[in-house]
Protein backbone atom coordinates (compact mmCIF):
# COMPACT_ATOMS: atom_id res chain seq x y z
CA UNK A 1 0.00 0.00 0.00
CA UNK A 2 1.48 3.40 -0.94
CA UNK A 3 2.47 5.80 1.79
CA UNK A 4 0.18 8.84 1.97
CA UNK A 5 1.81 12.11 1.05
CA UNK A 6 0.95 15.36 2.79
CA UNK A 7 -0.50 17.91 0.41
CA UNK A 8 0.64 21.47 1.08
CA UNK A 9 -2.12 24.03 1.61
CA UNK A 10 -3.35 25.82 -1.50
CA UNK A 11 -2.49 29.36 -2.37
CA UNK A 12 0.09 31.26 -4.34
CA UNK A 13 3.65 30.03 -4.42
CA UNK A 14 6.46 32.57 -4.19
CA UNK A 15 9.27 31.78 -6.61
CA UNK A 16 12.79 33.00 -6.12
CA UNK A 17 13.89 35.68 -8.61
CA UNK A 18 16.06 33.09 -10.40
CA UNK A 19 13.17 30.60 -10.64
CA UNK A 20 10.78 33.33 -11.83
CA UNK A 21 13.22 34.42 -14.56
CA UNK A 22 13.74 30.82 -15.63
CA UNK A 23 9.97 30.27 -15.75
CA UNK A 24 9.63 33.32 -18.01
CA UNK A 25 12.22 31.73 -20.32
CA UNK A 26 10.21 28.51 -20.36
CA UNK A 27 7.05 30.40 -21.30
CA UNK A 28 8.86 32.31 -24.06
CA UNK A 29 10.31 29.06 -25.39
CA UNK A 30 6.84 27.49 -25.42
CA UNK A 31 5.50 30.46 -27.39
CA UNK A 32 8.39 30.13 -29.87
CA UNK A 33 7.70 26.43 -30.23
CA UNK A 34 4.00 27.02 -30.96
CA UNK A 35 4.86 29.66 -33.57
CA UNK A 36 7.39 27.37 -35.24
CA UNK A 37 4.89 24.51 -35.23
CA UNK A 38 2.21 26.67 -36.84
CA UNK A 39 4.72 27.88 -39.43
CA UNK A 40 5.50 24.31 -40.45
CA UNK A 41 9.27 24.85 -40.54
CA UNK A 42 10.89 21.78 -39.02
CA UNK A 43 14.28 23.46 -38.56
CA UNK A 44 12.67 26.30 -36.59
CA UNK A 45 10.63 23.77 -34.62
CA UNK A 46 13.77 21.80 -33.75
CA UNK A 47 15.52 24.97 -32.61
CA UNK A 48 12.50 25.93 -30.54
CA UNK A 49 12.47 22.50 -28.88
CA UNK A 50 16.15 22.91 -28.01
CA UNK A 51 15.46 26.35 -26.49
CA UNK A 52 12.62 24.82 -24.46
CA UNK A 53 14.87 22.01 -23.24
CA UNK A 54 17.58 24.52 -22.26
CA UNK A 55 15.03 26.72 -20.48
CA UNK A 56 13.62 23.73 -18.58
CA UNK A 57 17.12 22.77 -17.46
CA UNK A 58 17.75 26.32 -16.23
CA UNK A 59 14.43 26.22 -14.35
CA UNK A 60 15.33 22.91 -12.69
CA UNK A 61 18.77 24.24 -11.73
CA UNK A 62 17.52 27.60 -10.41
CA UNK A 63 17.22 28.02 -6.67
| pLDDT at site 31 | 96
Backbone angles phi, psi at 9, to 5 degrees: -60, 150
Per-residue pLDDT tens over the stretch 46-60: 999 999 999 999 999
Dihedral sign from CA coordinates of 15, 21, 27, 33? negative
Reported as a pLDDT band with limits 50, 70 and 90, residue 12 is: confident
More confident residue, 10 or 17: 17
| pLDDT at site 8 | 65
Per-residue pLDDT tens over the stretch 20-56: 999 999 999 999 999 999 999 999 999 999 999 999 9
Sort 62 into a burial class: Cβ within 10 Å, 0-12 / 13-18 / 19+: middle
Range 44-51, long-range pairs (CB < 8 A, 24+ positions): none
Amino acid sequence: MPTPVAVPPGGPVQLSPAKAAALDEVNQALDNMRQAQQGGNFADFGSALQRLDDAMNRYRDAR
